[in-house]
Amino acid sequence: MAVPAVSIVVPIYNGGEHYPVCFESLCRLDYPPDRLEVHIIDDGSTDDTGAFLKAQQPPEHVHIHHLPANIGRGAARNQGLQRATGEVVIFLDGDMEVLPNFVAAHVAELAKPGREATVGAVQSADWVPSSKLNSYLYDYPRRGAQQFGRDRPIGFQYLISGNMALSRAAVEGAGGQFESYTRYGGEDTLFAYRVARAFPNGIYYNEEAVSFHHQHQSLGAYLKLMTSYGRHNLPLIVTRHPELAAIMAADFAWPLPGRYFRRKRTLGRFLFNRLTDLLARALLLLTPKPLSHALVRFLSVTSVVRGLRRYVQEHRPQVPHPGLSRNSPTNPTTPPPAR
């Protein structure tokens, strides 16, 4: 059987003290070097990451590209994608460490019938301290793609660019471009949505392609990022595709027409507000794991909805009638219809 050529695209910005571990793991992959190319995009780092990379002598198939200024993760991935020539393209975040069999695991999954895109398993690195947030992010079995298990198609919203692999056909089906957002979050959402529209039921979870996340942040910092995503990038997504609002919980704040959605916004104001946020944070201090997962999830949704609601209040967007109803698509295994 022919071994497919693989391209890996890894954007990195201010990788910090743990980035050398991630870089070294990319140089230890056991995939045939003549069938592999790794494109590391230094996205205008202002810490020691750029200097570290310039001092390295990686294998010939590992290519390092330095951008003069920070342009954001989506745009940096596009820089790598323009250089990628492989039949399979793997996207990996710059704070991930991988095992030597990482590429082979993704390739083996994509070789199965019906697979056009796979999302790998993300675990915390050994040094990441235990916390209720980290337990939710890495240990909660009902969060993300892992809740569906293997051999079952999953929805586009679970195809995240931190650890995902695509066939060349899927890349082309997605238009070959990520959104060039400069704020946090959502730059891969419409990319994944286009993949799902081109290949319904073609996205799968791959528990064998493991990456270890070298990141730790406080709950407060994480929720601020969720609020920023809701206020800045989520409006761009649902403006272009209102049919995605229900899938992404945006219908709790986004002004979609109709009685059903007006009721959803009323419910959103009741559920997701400053008072419920403060109450959930207080309860989280007293709630042990794994019961705390539900509260962390609630706080995450609250932050996104409150950020989106702030955007709506500031900009008063005029939303054209998208033909949505109470029966708008929400099944995670079936992408919404093309508009």
State yes or no: pLDDT of 173 exceeds 80. yes
pLDDT for position 333: 39
State yes or no: pLDDT of 327 exceeds 50. no
pLDDT for position 17: 87
pLDDT bucket at 321, cuts 50 / 70 / 90? low
Between CA 324 and CA 118 the distance in angstroms is 29
**Residue range 178-202: average pLDDT?**
95
pLDDT for position 331: 40
Say which CATH class 6-213 falls into: alpha beta
pLDDT for position 138: 96
State yes or no: pLDDT of 338 exceeds 70. no
Q: What's the predicted TM-score (pTM) here?
A: 0.92
pLDDT for position 339: 33
pLDDT for position 2: 85
- pLDDT per residue as tens digits for the range 257-304: 999 999 999 999 999 999 999 999 999 999 999 999 999 999 999 999
**Residue range 132-141: average pLDDT?**
96
To the nearest whole percent, how much of the chain has pLDDT over 70? 94
- pLDDT per residue as tens digits for the range 213-246: 999 999 999 999 999 999 999 999 999 999 999 9
Strand partners, 42: 12, 66
**Residue range 25-40: average pLDDT?**
97
pLDDT for position 324: 52
The domain locations on the chain are 6-213, 219-315
Between CA 133 and CA 270 the distance in angstroms is 24
pLDDT for position 146: 94
Q: On the CB side of 316, how many CA atoms lie within 13 Å of its CA?
A: 0
State yes or no: pLDDT of 326 exceeds 70. no
More confident residue, 320 or 55: 55
pLDDT bucket at 1, cuts 50 / 70 / 90? low
pLDDT bucket at 320, cuts 50 / 70 / 90? low
State yes or no: pLDDT of 316 exceeds 90. yes
